[in-house]
């Protein structure tokens, strides 16, 4: 699911229009004025056309004869596309969306951890070990620790040696990042290393059942930290109100 936006003006136009759609500045059904957009962004007709092709591929816009290009209904959006998910989260970092990401992760990630335990090789183990070591060395820098946690989870996906599994990295990456973000950017939950070490050990020992169980615990714990912060914030607001 990972993807990179086009560079230069092309990418800027795609990014801005995508963000506007996700934020509601461009509502479903709204017709895009191509001439106005060309003037606003200072781009040629060709650049705008190519930008709209990218958004069309993501399901955000469509073109119809006589009507022109318009914003599609959200049901048509490719919500698992890397850019669409990023735009949505940047515009609406809601706990409800995090809950949905967590539900998806709980369905797919524990099973993938079990598959990784069956198929991992020495390179996979070395990658996981390096990520865990780097995470340990950066616990006092939450933003860095989170990045290494993401690398660890990606390594588990790659250890399945299943191309379709590795394509799910966007959902998992964003689920991890948003858990920490909505937990007030505190980095991994208290005592993050032991459960991750148990996960690595289970995969190293080729113990699918244990790997599946530990991954499920990791996801639930990370989500629980964000939920606890949500309840604390609500309580603080009630007291101050």
Count of domains forming the chain: 2
Residue 42 structural domain: 8-76
Q: Say yes or no: 188 and 131 in one domain.
A: yes
Contact 69, 32 (CB under 8 A): yes
Per-residue confidence band for 191, with pLDDT thresholds at 50, 70 and 90: low
Residue 147 lies in a domain: yes
Contact 23, 15 (CB under 8 A): no
Q: Say yes or no: 29 and 98 in one domain.
A: no
Contact 48, 32 (CB under 8 A): no
| 71, β-bridge pairs | 61
Q: Say yes or no: 54 and 23 in one domain.
A: yes
Q: Whole-model pTM? A: 0.77
Per-residue confidence band for 17, with pLDDT thresholds at 50, 70 and 90: very high
Q: Say yes or no: 139 and 229 in one domain.
A: yes
Residue 86 lies in a domain: no
Q: Say yes or no: 53 and 98 in one domain.
A: no
The CATH number of the domain holding residue 170 is 1.20.120.530
3-state SS, residue 69: strand
pLDDT in tens, 36-90: 999 999 999 999 999 999 999 999 999 999 899 999 999 999 988 889 988 888 7
Q: Say yes or no: 110 and 225 in one domain.
A: yes
Residue 175 lies in a domain: yes
pLDDT in tens, 133-161: 999 999 889 889 999 999 999 999 999 99
Residues in the chain: 241
Contact 111, 164 (CB under 8 A): no
Q: Say yes or no: 153 and 55 in one domain.
A: no
């Amino acid at each position: 699911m990972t993807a990179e936006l086009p560079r230069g003006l092309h990418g800027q136009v795609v990014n801005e229009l995508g963000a506007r759609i996700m934020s509601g500045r461009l509502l479903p059904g709204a017709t895009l004025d191509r001439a106005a957009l060309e003037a606003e962004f200072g781009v040629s007709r060709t650049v705008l056309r190519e930008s709209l092709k990218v958004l069309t591929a993501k399901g955000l816009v469509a073109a119809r004869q006589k009507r022109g290009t318009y914003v599609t209904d959200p049901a048509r959006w490719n919500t698992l596309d890397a850019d669409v998910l990023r735009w949505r989260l940047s515009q609406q970092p809601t706990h409800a969306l995090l809950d949905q990401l967590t539900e998806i992760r709980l369905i797919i990630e524990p099973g993938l951890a079990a598959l990784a335990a069956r198929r991992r090789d020495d390179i996979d183990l070395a990658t996981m070990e390096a990520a865990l070591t780097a995470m340990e060395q950066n616990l006092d820098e939450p933003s860095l620790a989170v990045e290494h946690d993401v690398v660890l989870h990606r390594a588990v996906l790659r250890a399945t040696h299943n191309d379709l599994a590795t394509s799910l990295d966007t959902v998992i990456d964003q689920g991890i990042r948003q858990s920490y973000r909505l937990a007030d950017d505190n980095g991994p939950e208290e005592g993050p290393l032991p459960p991750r070490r148990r996960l690595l050990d289970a995969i190293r020992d080729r113990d699918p059942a244990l790997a599946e169980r530990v991954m499920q615990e990791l996801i639930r714990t990370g989500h629980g930290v964000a939920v606890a912060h949500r309840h604390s914030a609500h309580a603080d607001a009630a007291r101050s109100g």
